[in-house]
Copies of this chain bind each other. A is one copy, B any other.
Amino acid sequence: MRVAERRRLVAVARGAAPANLYLRGGTLLNVYTGELYAANVAVYGERIAYVGSRTDMVDASTTVLDVAGRVLVPGYVDPHVHPAHVITPSALARHVLALGTTTLFADTLQFWELGGVRAFTAVADALARSPVKFYWMIRPHAQSRTADEWRRFPLRDLTRALAHPSAVAVGEVTRWPDVHAGEPHLLRRLDLARVRGQRVEGHTAGASAERLAAIAAGGLSSDHEPITAREVLDRARQGIAVMLRESSLRPDLSGLLNALKDAPGLAARAMLTADGSMPAFVQDHGFVDHLIRTAMQRGVPPLDAYRMATLNPATYFGKDTDLGGIAPGRYADICVLRDLGEPRPETVIARGRVAAREGRTLVAVPEPPWRRVFATPAARLTVRWRARPDDFRLPGRPTLPVLRLVSTVITKIEQRAPQRGDLHAALIDRGGRWVAPALVAGFAERVDGLATTISTDFNILALGRRPPSIARAVNRLLDLRGGVVLVEGDAVEWELALPLGGIMTRAELPEAAARERELAQRLGERGYTFHDPFFTMFFLSADFLPAARLTPRGVWDVKAGRILLPSRQRA
């Protein structure tokens, strides 16, 4: 906000200048005091100028919105969002805005990994004026270990990215064992945020209570990974700010909320997050509105439920003078509700404009300049190599390490001879230089060939029972410049092009959700039994999840920290 805008805001509050927008006759949920009372709200530009009973800032130029009988609550804030899952951050924003979410604290993984600090800056700059506010956490490390990792995440670039006006944190730091071990390259990167007064977004999935002290001492300031109320408490006790999650992958919120009963001080700081929910889940359930509703249905007092999704995250990120409450100086982000008990809004005000009504978004959300964001051949998949069935050949050993899926994303290792139902699998370099072959069990044993660029390290994941079908899927994927391709025999059975970096479609959320359901159905028909196939593919290369992963160096034993089956150069 420039000083001239601030002066005008003050003038409107005094009644010396007209408001642009005036909400008349509503009942306000004051998240600062916990009170509900009648109040009008005057808006100038993007911000709230006045909250009270006076009307002297209303003139003929003011748009007056009659909200009699309605409840006004602050626009919802999600403190931990992965905004590039299948759809663009802008498409996500367009959808969730109508559901009342007006601020996203968002991950940069995809932009950062595929385009570095220039790509991040291009995205952040483009979204700086979005009606849904975007703030960013900057990744300090990759999702799969590589020898050149610290060169790929240089201190200089991280420092530059953290200096961006919309950067608020380093994160998500998925590699908590390295924090626990005091790995100096990583700690040095976390320290860059600390000296700026920024946050360090953690991820401590599976860390036992006794390890949390060292992780907290290492500087992680939040965690969104607890999957039980006990884990919530364990983390909160160590001073780690907890984000209670309900996502398509981990719809755990109902259970997590039990922690609030055991710990009377927790609700003052806890937050709610939808994390990396996939399109179909968001379409079916909602976004932050769904989290608030779930909390109230589980008996959380409305003040606490709304605060955990508004003021608490705003305060945690040091943005509480801009966000999180309906008060002068804040962005005019307001949900107009029919009833405090139903968080899905009738009308949404964002940045001072009527941004959505009855579930329909009425304002434009800018799209980042994707051609500039994804500028390299690898990012754009404009490559000349093509896959061959021989790429999926396995070494002739009596036993091999098999990655058996035991849930949507968790694997266990079976060291044994290949058997019926095992799929050939491989992670392949986007540039075609190497391939990491493997065997996978428990995925979908009747898939002939599947290839996708949806993976945490952005290489190509390929799977199937027939190497020629897998090669066909990979080659069609390269033609599409990324996406998901399912091949039956030699024919492409189903495909989804994700031409933006190989990770995103230009489609809106409802269309992406429809395609997601198609894929789930086709994989289900072929034996997939879990609940989120995008995440199964995405995380097969994430070397921080138990027990084994497919990485550029080969099949990786996460706990032992060693390669079980190495990758090889492609000819």
Q: Which residue of B lies closest to A8 (CB)?
A: B182
Assess whether A330 is in contact with B32, with CB atoms less than 8 Å apart.
no
Assess whether B328 is in contact with A32, with CB atoms less than 8 Å apart.
no
Assess whether B7 is in contact with A182, with CB atoms less than 8 Å apart.
yes
Let me know if A265 is at the binding interface, CB within 8 A: yes
Would you give 30 A-B contacts (Cβ < 8 Å), ordered by A? Answer: A6-B191, A6-B219, A10-B179, A10-B180, A10-B182, A10-B217, A11-B182, A13-B216, A13-B217, A14-B180, A14-B182, A14-B214, A30-B265, A32-B236, A32-B237, A32-B239, A32-B269, A33-B262, A34-B264, A34-B266, A35-B263, A52-B213, A216-B328, A217-B328, A218-B329, A219-B321, A239-B328, A239-B330, A265-B303, A269-B315
Top 8 A-B pairs, shortest CB-CB distance: A34-B265, A239-B327, A13-B214, A217-B328, A33-B263, A268-B268, A216-B328, A34-B264
Closest Cβ of chain B to A566, distance in Å, is: 31
**Complex alpha-carbon distance, A233 and B34, angstroms:** 11
Decide yes or no: A33 and B188 within 8 Å by CB, A10-B218, A221-B321 being known contacts. Answer: no
**Total number of A residues with any Cβ neighbor in B under 8 Å:** 64
Binary contact readout A185-226 vs B (1 if CB under 8 angstroms, 0 otherwise):
001100100100100000000000010011011110100000
Closest Cβ of chain B to A42, distance in Å, is: 8
Let me know if A238 is at the binding interface, CB within 8 A: yes
Assess whether B51 is in contact with A213, with CB atoms less than 8 Å apart.
yes
Choose from B9, B30, B188, B213 the contact partner of A13 (Cβ within 8 Å). Answer: B213
Binary contact readout A12-48 vs B (1 if CB under 8 angstroms, 0 otherwise):
1110000000000000001111110000000000011
Q: Could you say how many copies of this chain the assembly holds? A: 2
Let me know if A184 is at the binding interface, CB within 8 A: yes
The residues of B that contact A325 with a CB separation of less than 8 Å are: 239
The residues of B that contact A562 with a CB separation of less than 8 Å are: none
Let me know if A318 is at the binding interface, CB within 8 A: yes
Assess whether B33 is in contact with A217, with CB atoms less than 8 Å apart.
no
Let me know if A49 is at the binding interface, CB within 8 A: yes
Closest Cβ of chain B to A489, distance in Å, is: 54
**Complex alpha-carbon distance, A9 and B191, angstroms:** 14
The residues of B that contact A285 with a CB separation of less than 8 Å are: none
Let me know if A54 is at the binding interface, CB within 8 A: yes
Let me know if A307 is at the binding interface, CB within 8 A: yes
Closest Cβ of chain B to A77, distance in Å, is: 15
Known: A12-B217, A315-B315. 9 other contacts (CB 8 A): A6-B187, A32-B236, A33-B265, A34-B265, A51-B238, A197-B318, A214-B328, A216-B328, A239-B321
Closest Cβ of chain B to A412, distance in Å, is: 27
Choose from B51, B52, B187, B213 the contact partner of A328 (Cβ within 8 Å). Answer: B213
Q: Which residue of B lies closest to A47 (CB)?
A: B217
Q: Which residue of B lies closest to A51 (CB)?
A: B213
Let me know if A528 is at the binding interface, CB within 8 A: no
Let me know if A3 is at the binding interface, CB within 8 A: yes
Q: Which residue of B lies closest to A267 (CB)?
A: B268
The residues of B that contact A233 with a CB separation of less than 8 Å are: 33
Let me know if A443 is at the binding interface, CB within 8 A: no
Decide yes or no: A54 and B210 within 8 Å by CB, A188-B3, A237-B32, A239-B328 being known contacts. Answer: yes
Let me know if A50 is at the binding interface, CB within 8 A: yes
